[in-house]
């Protein structure tokens, strides 16, 4: 495909991302509208390959919806649409926190107007430092407090 398009220094693979073994250093990992845990697979790949930058536009975050519980919010979260929106926020927030714990400088931004699409969050991460054990502890505390086991954490520890 790269040859047909005239691209240099670019390869295309049709394989499971877990099986990908790069020949060279991967500087940037990008994930655009990767549904549900496919975003987490891309983030885990970027972290494991120690990529200089990771850019993700997540989509369809359903993974934590059936997992998380937070007793102080039980009377708010009984409304399905609010529980779903909170799950989206928690999912992307925990993704950002994991990236920070792994030494990335992270920003979460709207990349286009919310009038165009409600799925307009972009997570940008630049590797700037070593892992932060305190932030990792915060991540574990959130996992425990919310009763969740995020796919990103699983992929980082299973692969």
| Least confident stretch, 5-19, 70-84, 99-113, 136-150 | 5-19
For residue 151, what pLDDT band results from cuts at 50, 70 and 90? Answer: very high
For residue 18, what pLDDT band results from cuts at 50, 70 and 90? Answer: confident
Return d(Cα 39, Cα 72) in angstroms, integer: 29
Mean pLDDT of 4-13: 83
84 contact partners, CB below 8 Å, separation of at least 6:
65
Structural domain that includes position 120: 2-158
Return d(Cα 76, Cα 147) in angstroms, integer: 17
> What pLDDT is recorded for position 131?
97
Domain count, the chain: 1
> What pLDDT is recorded for position 127?
98
Return d(Cα 46, Cα 104) in angstroms, integer: 11
Pairing of strands 104-110, 121-127: antiparallel
Mean pLDDT of 89-95: 95
pLDDT of residue 16 exceeding 90, the answer is no
Instruction: Give me the percent of the chain exceeding a pLDDT of 70.
Output: 99
Q: Say what the pTM is.
A: 0.90
Mean pLDDT of 46-55: 96
Mean pLDDT of 14-40: 88
Task: With H, G, I as helix, E, B as strand and everything else as coil, classify residue 31.
Answer: strand
> What pLDDT is recorded for position 111?
82
């Amino acid at each position: 495909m790269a040859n047909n398009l005239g691209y240099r220094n670019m390869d295309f693979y049709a394989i499971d991302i877990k099986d990908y073994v790069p020949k060279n250093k991967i500087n940037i990992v990008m994930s655009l509208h990767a549904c549900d845990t496919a975003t987490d697979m891309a983030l885990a790949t970027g972290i494991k390959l120690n990529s200089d930058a990771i850019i993700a536009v997540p989509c369809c975050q359903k993974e934590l919806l059936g997992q998380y519980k937070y007793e102080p919010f039980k009377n708010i979260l009984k409304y399905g649409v609010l529980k779903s929106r909170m799950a989206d926020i928690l999912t992307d927030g925990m993704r950002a926190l994991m990236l920070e714990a792994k030494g990335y400088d992270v920003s979460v931004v709207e990349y286009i107007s919310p009038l165009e699409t409600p799925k307009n969050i972009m997570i940008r991460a630049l590797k700037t430092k070593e892992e932060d054990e305190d932030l990792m502890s915060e991540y574990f505390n959130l996992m425990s407090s919310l009763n969740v086991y995020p796919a990103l954490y699983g992929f980082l520890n299973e692969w």
